[in-house]
Amino acid sequence: MSATVELKLSRPNRIYRPSVPLEGKIVVKSASPISHNGIRISLKGSVDLQVRGGSAGVIESFYGVVKPITILSKSLEIKPSGKIVSGTTEIPFSITLRNPREDNLERFYETFHGTDVSIQYLATVDIMRGYLHKSLSATVEFIVESDKADLPDRPISPEMVIFYITQDTQRHPILPELKSGGFRITGRISTQCSMLEPLGGELTVEASALPICSVDIHLLRVESILLGEKIITETSLIQTTQIADGDVCRNMTLPIYVLLPRLLTCPTVLAGPFSIEFKAAIVINFQSELSRLHPKSDPITPRLWTAVETLPLELVRAS
């Protein structure tokens, strides 16, 4: 059996705050003793920026990879040169992410996996074995959340905004029968929401000339990157939550309850070279022959048989 190494973190959810030490153990399995030139753990954290298609032009897409922003970069020797016995060996470690006496390169942004912006933190263990043997290495991602000291003292209460959706509020072409017959949907929804709480609200269909097929809530991310003197902005769909299926009873209040996916969302970030913002889109799909002919159309592009109301959504981390 060849030798293997694994990096196991102390927390099953792999969530850490900058002021909390990253702890775990290095697990080495080998059928025979291993001589090594040292065991090191490296921590890397960065904001990776990449401009893709969409709003970017041909030139911007060609030169689309922007230099990453380094957040964290440190390396620590866990063991000096020596030998690891055969069998299974566990080596504990503990590394402080943020030292108050050190000047950090950047603030610790929360982990985020986006389309154009990705904020990632990695821990890598290397067992160096010299020129005649291949070094052993393993990498694991850990998730960073804001320090409690950086969070608001008071709980965040959701900010509700009242909305109404009619044929006159639509900025895209709609079906003639919807234009002439009309419809009216009213409700309220959070525009500021804690990361630990669901996006909430309510919705009421007061009137509609056509039967309704479904009511959905689209959670959108808006990623912006500063490229030279130009800001490239891309809007993409994170998830869709259906709150009604089929024709909705008129004047009946429907609850809005949307769970936020952890790695695909983060507190709203407005930094210099990039920004991460979010939106909530309320989408009403009406029953029509056209919708049956295009069942797999782009969900975030307004269609003749849809009514849409898009609102900005600020996500915050609360204590």
* pTM across the whole model: 0.87
Both tokens of 266, joined, read 């983060």
| Per-residue pLDDT reduced to its tens digit, 180-216 | 999 999 999 999 988 888 999 999 999 999 999 999 9
| Per-residue pLDDT reduced to its tens digit, 226-249 | 888 888 999 999 999 999 999 999
Is residue 81 within 8 Å of 127, Cβ to Cβ?
no
Tracing tokens 């959701």 back to the chain, one arrives at 158
Question: How many C-alpha atoms does 227 have within 13 Å on its Cβ side?
Answer: 24
Checking if the pLDDT of 312 tops 80, the result is yes
The Cα–Cα gap between 49 and 63 comes to 12
The Cα–Cα gap between 125 and 75 comes to 10
| Per-residue pLDDT reduced to its tens digit, 23-36 | 999 999 998 888 88
Task: Provide the CA 117 distance to its chain's centre, in angstroms.
Answer: 9
